[in-house]
Structure 1
Amino acid sequence: MSPHKTQPGNKKESHRVVRRRNEQAEIDSIETKLSNPDAFAGAKYFNDLPISDRTKDGLKKGGFTQLTEIQRKALPLALAKRDVLGAAKTGSGKTLSFLVPVLDILYRSHWNSSDGLGALIISPTRELAVQIFEVLKKIGRTHTFSAGLVIGGKEFDVEQERIARMNILVATPGRLLQHMDQTVGFNCDNLQVLVLDEADRIMDMGFQRTINAVVENLPKQRQTLLFSATQTRSVKDLARLSLKDPEYVAVHEKAEHSTPQKLTQHYVVCELQDKLDILYSFIKTHLKNKVIVFLSSCKQTRFVYEAFCKLQPGIPIIHLHGKQKQTKRVDIFRQFSHSQHAVLFCTDIAARGLDFPAVDWVVQLDCPEDADTYIHRAGRTARFDAEGHALLMLLPTEKDGMLEELKNKKVPIEEIKIRADKQKSIQTQLQSFCFQDPEIKYLGQRAFVAYMRSVYLQRKKNIFKVTELPADEFAHSLGLAGTPKIKFVKKAEKTLGPAKVSAIPSSDEKEEEKEEETQKTKTKYDRMFQKRNQDILSEHYNKLVDYEGDKLGDGDDDDFMTLGRVDHALESDSDDNMKESKADNLSKRQAKMGKKELAKRSSKGEKLVFDEEGKPHQLYEMVDEADFLKDGDAKAQKDAFITETGELMKTADVDDKAMAKQKRAEKKMKRKMKEKEAREMASGNGGSDQEEFESDDEDMDQDSSSEDDDDQEQGKQQKRKWFQKATSDDDEEESSTKKRVLQVDQPETIQDQEALALKLLGGL
C-alpha cells in the first residue's frame, strides 16, 4: 500500500487514540476530585462540579446552569457512587439530582450498547416517567447511550424487541416487572445505578410488593438513589433493605416551613353541598389564571369536567385521571403545559413530581388523605422560586383534624371567608343537565358513590367522618333527584355509632327496621322489586359513557382511589346496590300479577308546579295561605274535591258503558253480515231476505237484552233464549209448528234444491 494512502488512516487512528487518552485523563481527574465530595458542597453552578464535559454541554443546551440546594448537597455524593436518601421540598430540582449522576457514572465506566442495562429509573406514575424521560433526552443528547421509556398503555411487543438494547431505562413498576417475567433476553445483571423517584408514593399500597419483586431481580452490588418530597416509614424500611450506608440529604429538614416560601396558602370552611358553587364562582373570577383542581376519584373528575363544560365558564377546561388511555393522558399533560390560561381537573395522579409551567393556583376541592398529600398537591405551583397560591376546601367535620396535621408538618395556612355576594349557585343548571342528559345523571350518581366511598376508606377517622356527611343535600347539589343508596355507610353507622346527620338516604327508619326483620322470609323476586334506583347502572347508561377516550388502560396503578387496604375491605356493595335492570323486561312473577297488585306496587303519581327558577313545589306551596283559606279549611276543600271528582267519574262511567255497548252491537252486526254472506255463497240462494232480517233482528234483541242484564244484579231473571226449555203455555204453539215441518231428503244437486224450494213455497 502506498504511503499517501496509509497516511490518512494513520491520522484517523491517532486522532481516536488521542481522544481516548483525553477522555481517560478527564475521568481520572474526576475520580480524584470525587475522593473528597464534601469539598463541592458549596458549588453554585454545574460547571463547578466534577462532571464530564459532555454532561456540562448537555446541561448548558438544556438551559440548566445554576444549582439548587438539593443539587448542591446530593450531586457530589451521588457522583462519588454513594447511596443517597434525599428529601427536599417539591419543585426543588430533584430530577437533575439523579439524572446527572446516572449519565456521568456510565460515562466514567465506558458503558456501551454491548454492556446492557446500566441504569434503571423507577417512577410511580406514567406522567412523571414521561417527564423524566424528556429531561433525560435534553441533557443526554451529547452522550452515546441508548435510553428507553417503558410504561403501561403502550404496545408490549414493540417494547420487548427493544428493551434488551437499552443502557438507561425509565419505567413504571408494573410494566417493568412484566418485562422481567416475560421478556426473553432482558436481564439486569450488570446494573450500576438504581433510582427510585417519589419513593414514598412508590411504596404505597399496591406498589410495595411490585418493588420488592423488582429489587429481588437486581444485583446487590449497585448504587441506589432514593428521592422524595417527604420521608415516610415505608421509605425508611425500603432504605434499610436496598441502601448500604446511605447518605441522608434533607435540605429543608430544619426549615421553618415544609412548603416553598413564595407559596401563599389559605383554606375555607364550607358545607359539602356548597363546594361546586364555590368552585364555579372561583373559576369565573380567575379566568386569566392557570388553575389545577384536585378531586379524590376518577368518577368525580369526569362528572365535574362534563358539567363545567356544559356551563361554559369562559376558560379552557381539561381533565386528567387514571382511567384514560395513555396516549390521551400524555396529550393532556402537554396541552396543559403549553396553555397560558386553563383549568385542569385531576386526581392525585398529577400530585407527584409533575412540573407544569406557570401554575397560578392549586385548588384542593376534596380534603387530602394526609398532610404529605397536601404538600405534594400544593407543590404543583410556586416551583423554582416562582410565586403561587393554594386553596384548600374543608368541611366543618374535617377542619380540626386536618389543621392539626398541617401544623405538625410545619405548613403555614390561613383561613379566608367567601363573600356571599360573589358566590353563584349552579344547582338549578345541574338539575337541568341531569334531567335532559342521561349521561350526566349517570356520572353524577357514580360521582356521589365514589366520594362517599373515598371518605369511608380513609384511615384517619378523626378527619373523615362518613356518617356525618349530609348525603341528601350533597346528592341534590350534584343535580340528582334522589339519593343513591349505599350500604357501606350503613355498615359504618353500625361500627361507629349513630351520627348527627344520617348519610343513609332512608325516609323512614321504622320501615328500614321492618325490612330487615322480614328480609329472611322474602323471596329474591320480592327483594328485586323493592330495590331503589334500579336504573343507576343500567346497560343503557353504560353504553352512553363507554367512549373510546376514557377507557381503562392496561391495569397500571395510577388511580388514587384504587385503595386496597386490608383493614378497610368493602362489602360487595357494587353487586347489591347497583343491580342492572331494564324496565321493559318484566320477570315471570311480575307478568302473572293482576292489575290490582301491579297498581299497588307502582309508584303513585304526584303533581308538581315549577317556579321561575325551575324548582319543583307542591300545588299548595304556590298559593298564599289567605287565598287558600277563602274556600274553606283544608278538610272541607278536600271533601268538596272528592265529591266533585266522584260525580264526574260516575258520569264518565255511564258514558263509557254506553259507548262500549254501542261498539259491541256494531261488532255483532258485522259478524252477522259476514255469516249471511257466507251462507249465500254456500247455498246459492240462501232463503228469503225477510227471513234473514227477522233472524238478525231476533239476534240483536237477544244481544241487547243480554248486555242489559250484565248491568243488573245477579239475582234478576233473564229473558228466555231460543235454546232454553219452553214453558207449558208454549207447548201448543210448538206442537203446531212441528206439524208444518216437511220431511225431505238431503238435496244433492241444483234440481233437488229447486224442488225443495217449490215444496217450501207450497207449504206456506
Structure 2
Amino acid sequence: MPSRTKAKPKRTSEGKVLKRKRENDDHDRLKKAIEEFDPKATPASRFSDLPLCEATASGLRASHFDTLTDVQARAIPAALKGADLLAAAKTGSGKTLAFLIPVLEKLYHAKWTNNVDGLGALIISPTRELAVQIFDVLRKIGRYHDYSAGLVIGGKSLKEEAERIDRMNILVCTPGRMLQHLDQSFGLNVSDLQILVLDEADRIMDMGFAHAVDALVEHLPRERQTLLFSATQSKKVSDLARLSLKDPEYVSVHEAAEAATPASLEQSYIVTPLPEKLDTLYGFIRSSLKSKIVVFLSSGKQVRFVYETFRQLQPGIPLLHLHGRQKQEARLQITQRFTAAKNACLFATDVVARGVDFPAVDWVIQVDCPEDADTYIHRVGRTARYQSKGRAVLFLDPSEEAGMLKRLEHKKIPLQRTNVKDHKKKTIRNQLQSMAFKQPDIKYLGQKAFVTYVRSVYLQRDKEVFDMKKLDLDGFAASLGLPGTPQIKFQKGEDIKKLKNAPRMAQSSGSEDESDGDGDARKPKAKDEVRTKVQKMFERTNQDVLSSHYRNMTGGADDNDDDEGADFFKAKRTLVDTDLDDAAGEHDGDDDGDGNGKMAKVVDLGGEQQLIVDSKRREKLLKSKKKLLKFKGHGQKLVFDEDGVAHPIYDLVDEDEFKAQGPVEELRRQFVEGESGKVAEADVEDKELARQKRKEKRERRKMLEKMERGEIASGPVVGAGAGAGAGLEGGEDPLALLRSLPVAGGAGSDDYSEDEAPKAKKAKKWFQDDSDDERAPSKKAKKGKRVIEMAEEPDNLEDLEALAAGLLDG
C-alpha cells in the first residue's frame, strides 16, 4: 500500500508534463500553420480551412457557423498573423466574427490564463445595443475557452462592474463607460493588453467620441494589435495616428462593387412635402400589416410623438419605440421583443442604425432625411442582411431631393423614385388635432417634436440639402395637430454630431425640463385674420396645466426677460423668474414690474396638486366645493394614541423595509396569530363580564322573591354581590340617593328637613363601644321607621324598581 501511494503523485506529475508538452506542440504547430497560410494561393471557403485552435473550431461548429464570408476570408488570416487591420464591408456581411475569432486566437497563442493574467482584449462599440449583440456572439463561439468575458455599458451599476472588472480577460464596452472605469476603478490593469478592436470605427472616431477615445487610448499600451471594422471606414492619417496603428493592412471587400449597399436590397425614395410625411407614413404602415418594419426619425421626441399618436390610431400592427433617453433595461427588452416578433413596427432613432442585427426585417423607412450618405448606408443595413432580401424607402422633401440624390449617387447607391397611390393615402391630421386638444401630453409632445426637428435641420452642415427657408414649417406644425406654429429664436450652435453625442445632463434643448428663453413680443393680430373655433378653444387660459406652456410657445404671451446664457433655442413663456418667485410667495411685486400686471396666486388645499389662480375663472373656482375636491386630496382614517397624537390605522413601509422583515408568508402568519390572540383575550373578558352580570341579575331576582314571601323583615337589600359596604369603600355615601328622593306622606325618613344639613355624628364617649351603633337601627325600627340599605347606586331599571317598591312598602 505505501508503495502505491507514492507512485500515484508520480503518475500525476508525469501527466501534467505530458499535457503541457502537448499544448506547446499544438501552439508551435498552429504558429507554423499560420505563417505558411497564404489566402491568395489557397483561398479558404470554410472555417475548417483556417488554422484555428480546437476550442475556437468547436465553438464555431456548435454555433452552426460553417461558411466564410468575403470579409471573414480576407480579414481573419491577416489578423491571425498579428497585423493591424482596417476592414470595410457592407452591412450584414459578418464583420463581428471577423474580429472575434482573432481575439480568441490572440489570447490562445499568448497562453492567457483566467486567474493569473488580467485584461487581454478590449472590444469597443459605439452603442449599447451593438455591444450586447457582440457579447452574445462571443459567448457562443468562445464557450469552450477558459477566458472570462464581461459586458461594460451604461445603465448598469458602476460599483458592481468595478468589483468584477479586474477579473475579466475580454471586455466588450462602450467608450464613455470604459473611460469611467479606467479613471475610477482601482484594480483595473490594462498594461498587458494584447488586442484592441473598434467596431463601427468611423462612428467611434468622429467628433462625438473624439475626447473619450483620446483619453481611453492614453491608458492603453502602445505594443498591441489594433483592428478597426466598419461599413464606411475612415482613412484619415490623424485617426490612424491617434490609435497608434503600425503599417495597417486595408481590407475593403466591396470597394470595387457596383453599389455600396447589398445587391439584394431594393431601394427607392418618395418625394413628399414635409406636412404630408406623417400621412404618408401612416398609409404605408396600414398597407404593410404583415411585415416587419423599422422607421427612422431624427430625434427621440419625434419617436415618442409618432409612437404615442399612432398607438391610439391603432393601425393593426404591434408598435414599439426605441431611443437613447430610455432606461437600459427598457431598451434591451424592446430590442428582444422586436427581434422575436414576426410582424411589428419599430420607431427608432440612429441608436439602432449601426451594427444591430434584427432578423427578417422587411422594410426600412427613413421618414427624416439622413445627415449624410454614410448614415443612409447604416440605416438601410438593418435589412437585407447576409444574402437575405429587403426593401428600403426614403422620404424626401422637394427641397432635399436634388442635394441628397447627388450625395447618394457619389457613394454608388442606386435609388428609384416611387409615387404613392392615391387610394393608399390616409389623412390623419384631424385625428391628431383632436388628440392634441383633448390630451395635453400629446400636445406637449407635438411641440417638442416640432422643436427638435427644426433644431436638427438647423444644425446640419450641408445647407444644400437642409435649407430651413424652403421648408413649410407652418404646415408641418399643423400636420402634428398644433393650431399654431411654435416660435423659436435660434442661436449659433455647434456641430450636430457634438450635440448628439454630448453627455445627457449637458443637453438641455432636447430634455423634458429644459430652460427656455424668451422670444419677441406678441405677434399683432391681423385685422382680416380668421380664427377657427379650435384655435379659440386652445387660447383658453384654464384648459390644463400645459395649455399655458403651449400658448407661450406659439407666441401668445409677453416676455421682457433677456437671458444671454440660454441654450440653443428659446421659446416664449408667460412667466419669467420674478413671476415664478411671486407665484411661490418669495417676494411681493407685480407680474411685469410696472405695477399693472396681475400676480398669480398659488393656493395649497392639502392635495398633491396646487391650485394656481391666474384668471377670473380660476377665482370663481374657489367658490365651488365640488370642483375643489380634486385639489384637497383624499381623506384617511386616523387613530389617536395615549398622548393624543393622530396616526394612520396602518403605517405603510417601503418595499425594501418590508422585504427586510422576512418572508411574506411568515409575516402573514405572525399577523394572523397576533390578531387571533387579541380577539381571544377580548372574548374571555367579554364572557366574564356577561357571566358576572347574569349572576347579579339572578341574585337580585332571588332577593325580590324572598321579600315578596316576607322572609326579609328589614326590607330588601338592593344590589347583592358586592356587599353593603362596597359603596363606602368607594368613597361614596350609599344613602345620598335616598335622601334626595321624596317619601310618601310628605315626611322625610330622617329627623331633619330637606333644607337642613344632616347633623354631624356624635363622638363616642370613653364608656361606649360598637355595640351601641348596632342597637341604633333597632331603636329606629321600633319607632315605626324603616331603613333601606344599598350596596351601590342603582344603575338599571330593575334596581330602581326594587328601590321604589321598598319606599312604597314603608
- TM-score bucket of the superposed structures, by smaller chain: 0.5 to 0.7
Partners of 1:570 and 1:252 lie apart in 2 by 49
Structure 1 residue 506, shift from structure 2 partner:
10
Counterpart of 2:549 (choices 535, 543, 551) is 535
The answer as to 2:391 corresponding to 1:389 is: yes
Cα pair 1:430 1:478 within 8 Å, conserved: yes
The DSSP-based 3-state class of the residue aligned with 1:38 is coil
Q: Which aligned pairs between 1:470-549 and structure 2 lie closer than 5 A?
A: 470-488=472-490, 534-536=548-550
Amino acid at match of 2:39: A
Distance 1:241 1:386, change over 3 A: same
Structure 2 partner of 1:26? 26
Paired residues of 1:37 and 1:77 also in contact (CA < 8 A): no
Q: 2:268 aligns with which of 266, 269, 280?
A: 266
Give the partner amino acid of 2:94: G
Q: Provide structure 1 residue ranges, at least 5 long, that are not aligned to the other structure.
A: 493-504, 513-531, 540-568, 596-600, 604-764
Task: Give the CA deviation at 1:588.
Answer: 3.7
CA distance in 2, matches of 1:491, 1:221: 40
Deviations 1:644-695 (A, max 9, x none): xxxxxxxxxxxxxxxxxxxxxxxxxxxxxxxxxxxxxxxxxxxxxxxxxxxx
Whether 2:409 is the aligned partner of 1:407: answer yes
Q: What is the rounded CA distance, in whole Å, between the counterparts of 1:235 and 1:368 in structure 2?
A: 26
Residue 714 (structure 1) aligns with: none
CA distance in 2, matches of 1:48, 1:431: 63
Which residue is equivalent to 1:83? 84
**Which structure is higher in helix share?**
1
Counterpart in the other structure of 2:72:
71
- Equivalent in the alignment of 2:789: none
Residues 34-90 of structure 1: CA deviation (Å, up to 9, x unaligned): 214433661011110001010000111112111000000000010111101100111
Equivalent position SS for 2:172: strand
2:786 corresponds to: none
Over residues 164-192 of structure 1, what are the superposed CA-to-partner deviations in whole Å (9 max), with x where a residue is unaligned?
11110111110111111111121210000
Contact 1:488–1:570 (CA under 8 A) maintained in structure 2: no
- Structure 2 Cα separation of the partners of residues 238 and 49 of structure 1: 28
Cα contact 2:486–2:571 (8 A) shared by 1: no
CA shift in 2, pair 1:11/1:428, >3 Å: farther
Q: Deviations over 1:371-418 (max 9, x none)?
A: 000000000000010000000000001000000000000001100000
SS at the partner of 1:148? strand
Corresponding residue of 2:745: none
- Where does residue 38 of structure 2 map in the other structure? 38
Instruction: Report the Cα distance in structure 1 between the residues aligned to 2:450 and 2:167, rounded to whole angstroms.
Output: 48
Change (3 A) 1:439 1:223: same
Q: 1:296 to 1:235 in 2, by over 3 A?
A: farther
Displacement after TM superposition at 1:216 (Å):
1.1
2:22 maps to a residue whose letter is N
| Corresponding residue for residue 681 of structure 1 | none
SS at match of 1:132: helix
The secondary structure found in structure 1 opposite 2:39 is helix
Match of 2:623 in 1: none
Partner Cα separation in structure 2 for residue 301 and residue 538 of structure 1: 24
1:486–1:573 Cα contact (<8 Å) kept: no
One-letter identity of the residue aligned with 1:180: L
Q: Secondary structure at the match of 2:250?
A: strand
**Over residues 261-316 of structure 1, what are the superposed CA-to-partner deviations in whole Å (9 max), with x where a residue is unaligned?**
10000000000011111111111111111100000001111111111111111111
Whether the 8 Å CA contact 2:214–2:242 is kept in 1: the answer is no
Distance 1:472 1:217 in 2: 51
Aligned to 1:256: 258
Tell me how far 1:236 sits from its aligned partner. Answer: 6.3
Residue 212 of structure 1, aligned match among 198, 211, 214: 214
The answer to whether 1:108 aligns with 2:122 is no
The 8 Å contact of residues 488 and 571 in structure 2, kept in 1 or not, is answered as no
Aligned residue for 2:768? Answer: none
Find 1:287's aligned residue among 289, 293, 318: 289
For residues 105 and 6 of structure 2, the distance between their equivalents in structure 1, rounded to whole angstroms, comes to 36
Q: Percent identity?
A: 54
CA separation of 1:181/1:491 partners in 2, compared to 1, >3 Å: closer, same or farther? closer
Aligned-pair CA distance for 1:482: 1.2
Partner of 2:355 in structure 1?
353
Task: Tell whether the 8 Å contact from 1:467 to 1:489 is kept in structure 2 after alignment.
Answer: no
In 1: Cα distance, 2:311 partner to 2:236 partner: 40
AA of the residue aligned to 1:19: K
Structure-2 change in CA distance of 1:579 and 1:52 (3 Å): farther
Q: Alpha-carbon deviation of 1:144? A: 0.2
Where 2:83 maps in the other structure, the secondary structure is coil
Flag the 1:252–1:594 CA change in 2: closer, same or farther, 3 A.
closer
Residue 391 of structure 1: SS of its match in structure 2? strand
Highest relative contact order (Cα 8 Å, sep 6+), 1 or 2? 1
Contact 1:537 1:580 in 2 (8 A): no
Amino acid at match of 1:39: P
Q: Matched residues in 2 for 1:13 and 1:252: separation?
A: 54
Asked whether 1:572 is paired with 2:574, we answer: no
Deviation at 1:22, TM superposition (A): 2.2
Aligned residue in 1 for 2:61: 60
- Distance change (3 Å), C-alpha of 1:326 and 1:64: same
* Corresponding position: 1:143 with 2:145: yes
Amino acid at match of 2:245: L
Structure 2 counterpart of 1:50? 51
Cα distance in structure 1, aligned partners of 2:241 and 2:178: 20
Q: 1:188 to 1:471 in 2, by over 3 A?
A: same
User: Which residue is equivalent to 1:93?
Assistant: 94
TM-score, structure 2 normalization: 0.63
Quote the offset at 1:14 in angstroms.
Answer: 3.6
Alignment-derived partner of residue 17 in structure 1: 17
Alpha-carbon shift at residue 425 of structure 1 (Å)? 0.7
- Look up the equivalent residue of 2:47 and give its one-letter code: F
Q: How many residues of Structure 1 are paired with residues of Structure 2 in the alignment?
A: 539
Report if aligned partners of 1:199, 1:235 keep a CA contact under 8 Å in 2.
no
Structure 1's 491 and 111: CA in aligned 2 closer, same or farther, altered over 3 A? closer
* Residue of structure 2 aligned with 1:340, choices 322, 339, 342: 342
Task: Please state whether the residue corresponding to 1:165 is helix, strand or coil.
Answer: coil
Residue identity in the other structure for 1:26: D
Aligned pairs for 1:221-232 (under 5 A) are: 221-232=223-234
Q: Secondary structure at the residue paired with 2:263? A: coil
Separation in 2, partners of 1:570, 1:239 = 38
Question: SS at the partner of 2:122?
Answer: strand
1:646-665 paired onto structure 2 within 5 Å: none
Superposition deviation, residue 489 in structure 1: 8.3
The residue identity in structure 1 corresponding to 2:252 is A
Q: Is the 8 A contact 2:126 2:175 kept in 1?
A: yes
Aligned mates of 1:39, 1:217 — CA distance in 2 = 35
Tell me which amino acid in the other structure corresponds to 1:54.
Answer: A
Structure 2: segments with no counterpart, 5+ residues: 495-518, 527-545, 554-563, 599-613, 617-810
Cα distance between partner residues in 1 of 2:590 and 2:314: 48
Cα displacement (A) at 1:26: 1.7
- Structure 2 partner of 1:676: none
How far apart, CA to CA, are the structure 1 residues paired with 2:357 and 2:137? 11
Q: Deviations over 1:315-372 (max 9, x none)?
A: 1111110000111111111111111111110000000100111111100010000000
Q: Which residue of 2 aligns with 1:123?
A: 125
- 1:313 aligns with 315
Cα deviation for residue 4 of structure 1 reads 3.2
Q: 1:537 to 1:371 in 2, by over 3 A?
A: farther
Given the superposition, is the C-alpha separation of residues 80 and 336 from structure 1 closer, same or farther in structure 2, using an over 3 Å criterion? same
| Amino acid in the other structure paired with 1:482 | G
Q: Distance in 1 between matches of 2:353 and 2:493?
A: 31
* Structure 1 CA distance for aligned equivalents of residues 140 and 434 of structure 2: 50
- State the distance in 2 between where 1:489 and 1:469 align: 19
Structure 1 residues 267 and 75, CA gap change in structure 2 (3 angstroms) = same
Secondary structure at the counterpart of residue 115 of structure 1: coil
Cα 1:579–1:94 shift into 2, 3 Å: farther
Aligned CA distance change for structure 1 residues 580 and 92 (closer, same or farther; 3 Å):
farther
1:460 — aligned with what? 462
